[in-house]
Amino acid sequence: MRYNASVKTQESDILLEWYDVHARDMPWRVPPAARKAGTKPDPYRVWLSEVMLQQTTIATVRDYFERFTTRWPDVNALAAAADADVMGEWAGLGYYARARNLLKCARVVTDTHGGTFPADHATLLSLPGIGPYTAAAISSIAFDLPHAVLDGNVERVMARLYDIHTPLPKAKPELMAKAERLTPATRPGDYAQAVMDLGATICTPKSPACGICPLRDPCQARQRGTAPELPKKLPKKAKPVRHGRVYLGRRGDGAWLLETRPEKGLLGGMLGWPGSDWVDTALPVPESAPPCDADWQVLPGEVRHTFTHFHLILEVMTAEIPPDATPARGHFADPAGFRPSTLPTVMRKAFDLAR
């Protein structure tokens, strides 16, 4: 970590002063005044929020975070939770490997570290689901260690502050070097959150509010008029389209036929409808045997959903399943206990179409 050991940079001073007044209010954050008064952040809440915020907006994460911390207030409680309960609460947040790793990590922290998150970057990096970004964020925000945190907001601020035109992702090492150089030895946790807040509220992607930005004097992109075009990015490849089919069957007693998806793979460990593989071909939909004999009918319409690397179009089949049917796959969910909110979004879309 090559942080500026000459105590503070001018930019970090400016940003910390700005943050003292403008810090965003978040349920996992200790505000700067409370932090100065001695309140320490709870590493469990910092870790949980950082995992949830990967690829997900703050607005979406707030409710999930409140539900998780109400149900599992500390890492030991989460470690003791049933897998299905955690996956069900995570449903809708996407990137489900995060939830599986969340549980694994909670159990390692409980079993190996006595229920206390390790306060050093290298040990944090060894935990399931914690990569360089999350380790830096926890080190900095929870333990006030001088690690630079380079998320999309910080990348944008660094690219503009130094007028860097190398496209992402090639520019990452250069942006990280700049971020590390600016990270101060004092209040590094507040500073990390200050840069993220600046990127989220002032130095926004399309219309940076340079007129009210605390960094407007040193900012090179503002001086040269290049801010709106930075950071540069390599053109994205068009996403392929995949097709598949799901079977939504229900018995006369109201029990839906569901299955828990395999641990490995997309939506791993989540609840879903039995169905075909999803393949990169145009119509027709890939053949797949129904999960049991019934009068399956194709529903009008289709489910469309976009994952990180592809678009998915699902054909939906429905049937009333005979009471004596023995499905070849899946299980019948207790009609009283089934909550559609425990389905991942694509599966909930299929449910909404059938309903």
Please report, as ranges, the residues that interact with ligand SF4 according to CB under 6 A: 157, 160-161, 202-203, 208-210, 213, 215-216, 219, 221-222, 227
Least gap, CB of 221 to ligand SF4 (angstroms) = 5
3-state secondary structure the chain: CCCECCCCCHHHHHHHHHHHHHCCCCCCCCCHHHHHCCCCCCHHHHHHHHHHHCCCCHHHHHHHHHHHHHHCCCHHHHHCCCHHHHHHHHCCCCCCHHHHHHHHHHHHHHHHCCCCCCCCHHHHHCCCCCCHHHHHHHHHHHHCCCCCCCCHHHHHHHHHHCCCCCCECCCHHHHHHHHHHHCECCCHHHHHHHHHHHHHHCCCCCCCCHHHCCCCCCCHHHHHCCHHHCCCECCCCCCCEEEEEEEEEEECCCCEEEEECCCCCCCCCCEECCECCCECCCCCCCCCCCCCCCCCEECCCCEEEECCCCEEEEEEEEEEECCCCCCCCCEECCCCCCCHHHCCHHHHHHHHHHC
Q: Least separation, in Å, of the C-beta of 36 and ligand SF4?
A: 25
CB 305 within 8 A of CB 314: yes
Nearer residue to ligand SF4 within complex by CB, 79 or 158: 158
Nearer to ligand SF4, 15 or 46 (CB): 15
Nearer to ligand SF4 by C-beta: 164 or 221?
Answer: 221
Residue placing its CB nearer to ligand SF4 in the complex, 222 or 245:
222
Check if the beta carbon of residue 102 is closer than 8 Å to that of residue 87.
Answer: no
Closest separation in Å from C-beta 194 to ligand SF4: 12
Q: How far is the CB of 201 from ligand SF4 (least distance, A)?
A: 10
Based on the residue annotation, tell me whether 302 is a catalytic residue of this protein: no
Which member of 11, 17, 50, 315 is catalytic? 50
Q: Which is nearer to ligand SF4, 51 or 227 (CB)?
A: 227
Distance from C-alpha of 76 to C-alpha of 95, rounded to nearest angstrom: 23
Indicate the residue among 222 and 348 with the shorter CB distance to ligand SF4. 222
Cβ 155 to ligand SF4 shortest distance, Å: 12
Q: How far is the CB of 191 from ligand SF4 (least distance, A)?
A: 15
Active-site residue list: 50
